[in-house]
Structure 1
Amino acid sequence: MPKRPAALLASPDDTEAQFYDALQHGDIDKLMAVWAEDEDIVCVHPGGPRLVGAGAIRAAFEALFAAGPVRVEPQRVRRVEALSSAVHSVVELVRLQTADGPREAHVVATNVYIKTPHGWRMVCHHASPGTSRDIEDVTDLPAMLH
């Protein structure tokens, strides 16, 4: 297992920034350094199975990075934060190079962080494919949903 980076991830935003920077650069060690040292960490890629544990998560990202860095940009982050946990709902803009030229896609993701002795670490990244309808925020719902 690679060593933790020297920099303390002092906030959920710092951890999230390192996660997306690691994706942009295809840096597996930097990416894995944002994850908590817990056997039950979880990652779900769009349309993929639930990956549990650092080994499964690392293998999935190594396979993803085999095609090169992932050009993904977090947008429209919604945050719910407490003293030792945080949940970020993110719309990810993914830029892809296809046979038909460059394309853009949206992914709706939830990132969950906890505060550890090593700073803030990710415990869950759950991403789902997004449509133009999915990336719109619906905020004025009736008070009773059922």
Structure 2
Amino acid sequence: MRKSKIQAANLEGDADDIEAAFYDALQRGDVDRLMACWADEDEIFCIHPGGPRVVGATAIRATFEAMFADGGSVRAWPERARKIVAVASAVHNVLERVEVLAGTTPSVAWVIATNVYHRTAQGWRLVAHHASPGTTSEIQEVSDAPAVLH
């Protein structure tokens, strides 16, 4: 496997920095920068909407290379996120706005993704990305959070 240079490393940063680098690389169709966001672990995994579980950096890289093969015709932007952060891990549940170029007209859909980050010796890194298909209209959030804080 060809190792990416650790371009996303920011030892002083946090999981938000890696998430920003991940989505920036997605928008640019830059596989090297995208893979630099991932941890150097054998058991990292990625699940694209409706797809199988893809395990390991080589397999994950191949799925993104295939996605970008048509000149980067898939773009994803994080719109809203819910975050749980601990000392050495963070879980972000992200509402993604995804644009797919089919012919000359872009199609927009919504995807719900869960990104899991761990703090490693190289800084924060992505260890799991699980994306589920949403709808063609913005997804409404259902929450049992109280309307008034006491």
Fold conserved between structures, TM > 0.5: yes
Q: Which runs of 5+ in 1 are unaligned?
A: 142-146
The question of 1:106 aligning with 2:110 is answered yes
Which region of structure 1 is more displaced relative to structure 2, 14-23 or 65-74?
A: 65-74
Structure 2 counterpart of 1:37, from 37, 40, 50: 40
Structure 2 residues not aligned, in runs of 5+:
146-150
The answer as to 2:126 corresponding to 1:122 is yes
**Secondary structure of 2:126 counterpart:** strand
User: TM-score if structure 2 supplies the norm length?
Assistant: 0.87
Task: State the TM-score, normalized to the length of structure 1.
Answer: 0.89
What is the letter of the counterpart of residue 4 of structure 1? I
Which position in structure 2 is the counterpart of 1:86?
A: 90
Structure 1 residue aligned with 2:141:
137
1:61 aligns with 2:67: no
Q: Residue 78 of structure 1 aligns to a residue in which SS?
A: strand
Cα distance, 1:71–1:131 mapped onto 2, change above 3 Å = same
Give 1:98 shift: 2.4
Q: Which amino acid aligns with 1:107?
A: V
CA gap of 1:6–1:45, structure 2 versus 1, over 3 A, is closer
Could you tell me which residue of structure 2 aligns to residue 47 of structure 1? 50
Residues 53 and 7 of structure 1, relative CA distance in 2, 3 Å threshold: closer
Query: How much does 1:97 deviate?
Result: 2.2
Q: Answer whether contact 2:9 2:124 (CA < 8 A) is retained.
A: no
Distance (whole Å) between structure 2 residues aligned to residue 113 and residue 121 of structure 1: 5
Please state how far the C-alpha of 1:5 moved relative to its aligned partner: 1.2
Q: Which residue of 1 aligns with 2:15?
A: 12
RMSD: 1.8
1:26 pairs with one of 29, 36, 47: 29
Count residues in correspondence.
141
